[in-house]
């Protein structure tokens, strides 16, 4: 009798665990997925140590909406078009596995180019207004002296970008965005591997879009925090970024 009850208890716990895993998988695949920001390529918008929730239904679904990107189709279902300025999480075209987050700058058919340090979309100069001088921004293990600008995209969307004070990117080739692809860049313009690097990222196929970043739900400075000096960990928490909308 005891053995039977013990077996039943194990079975019931197993069912509960499997059910919870299925629910978690559905939420992660179809609704929201958490992501961690490990690099400074999106500063000042996203900082190293930010934890964000990404909407998985913002652009519809593809094989990359699911864990391990099962190759059941190369199409998107319930597809929705992203807009300029969106913070997009995508799988890098080079391996279709690594998750990147960048800002959507170019739509299919657009031309993108930097001329004398200014961004041009479809041969029209993008307005940018300087808001701050000599702001220190991270780039790997280094700090860059940068100027901060408010940039206004053709659809009127405004966002912050930073450019190195000295040695910033000045001129590039003309990038022509193919059909069904997008051009994405980091807000930290001189410290971001993005669509400008055709050999590693390049133009991003619509199938590779994972979702749109919506909110920062937690943030701590993982560069400054030190587990050895655990009594200082509370100083790394960025309380002003909790539940910040993006």
Catalytic positions, please? Answer: 41, 102
Return d(Cα 159, Cα 105) in angstroms, integer: 11
Return d(Cα 186, Cα 103) in angstroms, integer: 6
Return d(Cα 96, Cα 93) in angstroms, integer: 5
DSSP state of 240: G
- CA 13 to chain CA mean position, Å: 37
Structure-block tokens of residue 88: 């997009």
Return d(Cα 87, Cα 64) in angstroms, integer: 17
Beta-bridge mates of residue 160: 150
- Tell me if residue 74 falls in helix, strand or coil: coil
Return d(Cα 104, Cα 117) in angstroms, integer: 19
Tell me if 151 sits within 8 A of 132, measured CB to CB: no
């Amino acid at each position: 009798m005891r053995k039977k009850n013990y077996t039943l208890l194990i079975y019931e716990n197993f069912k509960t665990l499997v059910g919870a895993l299925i629910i978690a998988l559905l939420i992660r695949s179809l609704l929201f997925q958490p992501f961690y920001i490990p690099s400074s390529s999106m500063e000042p918008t996203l900082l190293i140590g930010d934890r964000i929730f990404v909407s998985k239904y913002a652009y519809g679904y593809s094989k990359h909406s699911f864990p391990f990107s099962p190759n059941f189709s190369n199409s998107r279902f319930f597809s929705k078009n992203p807009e300029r300025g969106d913070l997009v999480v995508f799988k890098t075209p080079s391996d279709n596995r690594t998750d990147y987050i960048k800002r959507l700058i170019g739509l299919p058919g657009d031309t993108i180019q930097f001329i004398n340090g200014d961004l041009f979309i479809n041969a029209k100069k993008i307005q940018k207004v300087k808001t701050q001088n000599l702001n220190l921004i991270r780039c790997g293990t280094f700090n860059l002296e940068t100027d901060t600008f408010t940039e206004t995209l053709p659809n009127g969307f405004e966002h912050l970008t930073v450019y190195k004070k000295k040695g910033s990117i000045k001129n590039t080739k003309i990038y022509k965005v193919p059909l069904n692809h997008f051009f994405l860049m980091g807000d930290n313009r001189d410290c971001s591997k993005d669509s400008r690097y055709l050999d590693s990222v390049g133009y991003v196929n619509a199938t590779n879009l994972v979702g749109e970043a919506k909110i920062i739900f937690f943030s701590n400075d993982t560069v400054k925090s030190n587990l050895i000096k655990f009594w200082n960990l509370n100083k790394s928490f960025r309380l002003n970024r909790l539940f910040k909308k993006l």
